Structure 1
């Protein structure tokens, strides 16, 4: 399958743009490569944050049900299977 690229224009304050250019040069990457890498890292961090939010939600619900250990939660989850 052929990869396609879509050119994008991003507006940055001048000091941030200079920092971005310096960072790209320091990393020996062009600005597109650096942006793709930064976006990938950002997406991974968001997924991790969402996962941790779900863990906190599940832990809160488990505590409300009196399920204080992982084994107790697993027993409840798998008892109907």
Structure 2
């Protein structure tokens, strides 16, 4: 009886130097290449989500403060420096 694979396989292309760095990192951490790239993708996704959350927070705060343009930001920075 065949078991259904729960993961998908993909191929990526890397410049030789980056490939070598990845292999050395995987070896140093005791990880397989797949584990290394899965972890890298998870971290990227987490960091991207945190960045988007931070941007949304900044937009909300700017809206509450009446900041609508870069000129408004510059004006506030200049006023804060005086």
**TM-score over 0.5 for the pair:** yes
Distance 1:29 1:3 in 2: 21
Tell me the number of residue pairs that the alignment of Structure 1 and Structure 2 aligns: 64
TM-score w.r.t. structure 2 length?
0.73
Deviations 1:4-61 (A, max 9, x none): 1111100000010000000000000000001111111110000100000001100110
Unaligned runs of 5+ in 1: 66-81
Cα root mean square deviation, aligned: 1.6
Runs of 4+ in structure 1 over 3 Å off:
none
Unaligned runs of 5+ in 2: 68-82
- Could you tell me which residue of structure 2 aligns to residue 11 of structure 1? 13
